[in-house]
Amino acid sequence: MERAHRIDLKLLRYFLAVAEELHFGRAAARLNMSQPPLSIHVKELEQQLGTLLFVRHSRSVALTHAGKILMEESRRLLASASQAMARVEQIGRGEAGRIELGVVGTAMWGKMRPVMRRFLKENPNVEVMFRENMPTTQMALLERRELDAGIWRMATEPMPGFTRLRLHESSFLVAMPQDHPLIACDAVPLEALRNEYFVTMPSMHTDWAFLQRVCQSAGFSPMIVREVMEPQTVLAMVSMGIGITLIADSYAQMNWPGVVFRPLEARIPADLYIVFEQQQVTPAMVKLVEALTHLNRA
């Protein structure tokens, strides 16, 4: 059975200096210490390992076979330790790390996209893992600390202990087929959608739960004729003339053949927020939050 060793890395550095110089005096000078304590430390290491590392002659020093093996392993171990310490220092400065970021799909377009592109380019050692989830799922993952931050729309109240920051102002638009009569309007009254057929994502989706309440406050419930899982499928069906939809303005920045977007007369907010637990923020997260919150000042 192998014995577990607890050896101070400092002893390995002392040993390595002697092994590379093959001279205690030169090794001591290299280490900025006197020779007697260096000899004592090397003997201490030999005692801990239970084997000789050097053959000592009156005027020379030679490595034993065990010493040669330890020299190779010490170089590798000390290099690895140095890399690990440098990595931790980078993480402490926010120059490296890993961020688990929850997002809603519509957040990936619009103003956030160029900011994330620049952040990733300027911080190549920070790995951002994007996890697309609905806000309710993100909140559960945040509570379990499986996410570092969540990004979603609307001012959903976070859990106690969590911070919410608005990233930028956004709005819901009406998306219609290109031959729809309402495209003649510069801005569409919400009431004008009373008799329209809607293509939506499932009502469990937070955006649509919110939008249904907005329509109901305007005096009608949207007539939903299709429910699909992805916003791009919604827009494809809109282009086919199956119905209209309400969708975040970030999608209007892309070309959707056969689809026309119009603002509403009364703005429906689709503002983007980031939510995170302040006590769990890493230096890399601080840099990301700072980059994203510049959206609100741009």
Length of the chain: 298
Strand 149-153 and strand 97-103: the pairing is parallel
Give 109-121 pLDDT, tens digit per residue. 777 888 889 989 9
Domain 172-262 sits in which CATH superfamily?
Answer: Periplasmic binding protein-like II (3.40.190.10)
Q: What's the rounded mean pLDDT across residues 4-11?
A: 74
Model pLDDT, residue 1: 44
Contact between residue 166 and residue 271 where contact means Cβ atoms under 8 Å apart: yes
The CATH label, of 3.40.50.300, 3.40.190.10, 3.60.21.10, 3.30.9.30, for the domain at 97-169+271-296 is 3.40.190.10
For 38, the 3-state DSSP assignment is helix
Evaluate whether 87 touches 134 at the Cβ level (below 8 Å).
no
List pLDDT tens digits, range 187-206: 999 999 999 999 998 876 56
The pLDDT value recorded for residue 224 is: 94
Q: Write down the pLDDT at residue 78.
A: 85
* C-alpha distances out from residue 219 to 88, 125, 195, 214, 223, Å: 58, 52, 12, 9, 13
pLDDT-based confidence at 245, cuts 50/70/90?
Answer: very high
For the chain, residues classed under CATH 1.10.10.10 are 9-92
Is the pLDDT reported for residue 186 higher than 90? yes
How confident is the model at residue 206, as a pLDDT? 62
pLDDT at 178 over 90: yes
- Local confidence band at 93 (pLDDT 50, 70, 90 cut-offs): low
Strand partners, 244: 198
Above pLDDT 70, what percent of the chain? 90
pLDDT tens for each residue of 30-76 = 999 999 999 999 999 999 888 999 998 877 789 999 989 989 999 99
Percent of the chain past pLDDT 90, that is, above it, reads: 40
Nearest 5°: CA angle at 111, between 176 and 138?
85
Q: Please give the helix or strand (H or E) that residue 289 lies within, else none.
A: helix 283-293
The CATH 3.40.190.10 domain(s) of the chain lie at: 97-169+271-296, 172-262
- Structure tokens that stand for 19 in this block: 């092994």
Question: For 9-92, which CATH class?
Answer: mainly alpha
Tally of CB atoms within 10 A around 72: 10
Q: What is the pTM of this model?
A: 0.64
Tokens representing 289 are 């939050």
- The lowest-confidence range among 1-5, 107-111, 182-186, 250-254 is 1-5
Mean pLDDT of 250-262: 92
Q: Higher model confidence: residue 93 or residue 59?
A: 59
Encoding tokens for residue 259? 């689809």
